[in-house]
Structure 1
């Protein structure tokens, strides 16, 4: 019985692989947009790039969150896929097996913490709540440039709205689009 459920889960995840690759590829392409680093002054560091991946993955996970069983399972699979990619990236950077688990655990904690902060910020009537979350999380290592923080908050709101206009069927099929960062942040 247990083995049957395990095999069914494995088959379902393998079936989702093309969708996960499409979703994650779109997320990664958007997170790497030069505009975020050049114009919005997101730190162009490993941590800054990771924060942009978190931000975009969070937006997609939030879109899938209340979409029913299939969407919620896809959301979890996307989260798992992201952390498998992070595990691989750490290994390529030379982090040894002994350090991988602790680093991934810290990265997951960052994802959940930022997700909670972004949820609170996006749901708040006061835009300062979201801006404070962005300043604290994305610009933690430097003094936050408030104009850029406000622009990134505007981008997040526009991206969330853009994702909300896309059908859940499209998103669950891996067809996803984000707004142009320069237009959405304006």
Structure 2
């Protein structure tokens, strides 16, 4: 394929990562996060929960350097979806880029906070309180539920084969110890 064909091609190589992104969104929309975990069922709450699951997957995929391009494609899909969601709720063209930029900054911060909590010894509940509940403390049982479930999800992802993850085969909720 020539240089110009590559530039102007309608093929979208990032579509290979679409099943993984859809699996992340499905996990982030599981009712237990909102019912037992008391995550606010709002645009912000859903973004925060999807960003948490996205972060868990990103932390896992970082272990495999040969997946860097696929991780970049997954991030492109996330950005595209956030752009589309903002436009659907009526955010205008003039400011949608600023909103997406802030969301990407928030996502990067969340990945760092969860990485530090899960691998660096920081307090996971503190990261959850800041990044999912935005400082509004829920019931202790809800905070514990989210922390235990995200920790278990992280552990399950670590044991999961990278190739399965890339195809959207994520650990099942029922297989994650509570």
| CA spacing shift, 1:6–1:108, aligned 2, 3 Å | farther
1:162-186: per-residue Cα shift (whole Å, max 9, x none)?
11222122223x14223417x7473
| Distance in 2 of aligned mates of 1:90 and 1:169 | 31
Q: Which runs of 5+ in 1 are unaligned?
A: none
1:180 partnered with 2:177 = no
Question: Could you say which residue in structure 1 is the equivalent of 2:80?
Answer: 84
Count of aligned pairs between the two proteins: 177
Q: Which runs of 5+ in 2 are unaligned?
A: none
CA contact (8 A) 1:90 1:100 kept: yes
Query: Where in structure 1 do 4 or more consecutive aligned residues deviate above 4 Å?
Result: none
**Please, what TM-score do these two structures have when normalized by structure 2?**
0.88
* 2:137 paired residue among 135, 139, 143: 143
1:43 partnered with 2:47 = no
| Distance in 2 of aligned mates of 1:38 and 1:144 | 12
1:45-66: per-residue Cα shift (whole Å, max 9, x none)?
1000001110111111111112
Higher relative contact order (CA 8 A, sep 6+): 2
Question: Could you say which residue in structure 2 is the equivalent of 1:107?
Answer: 103
1:60 partnered with 2:57 = yes
Q: 1:6 deviation in Å?
A: 9.1
| CA spacing shift, 1:175–1:101, aligned 2, 3 Å | closer
**Please, what TM-score do these two structures have when normalized by structure 1?**
0.85
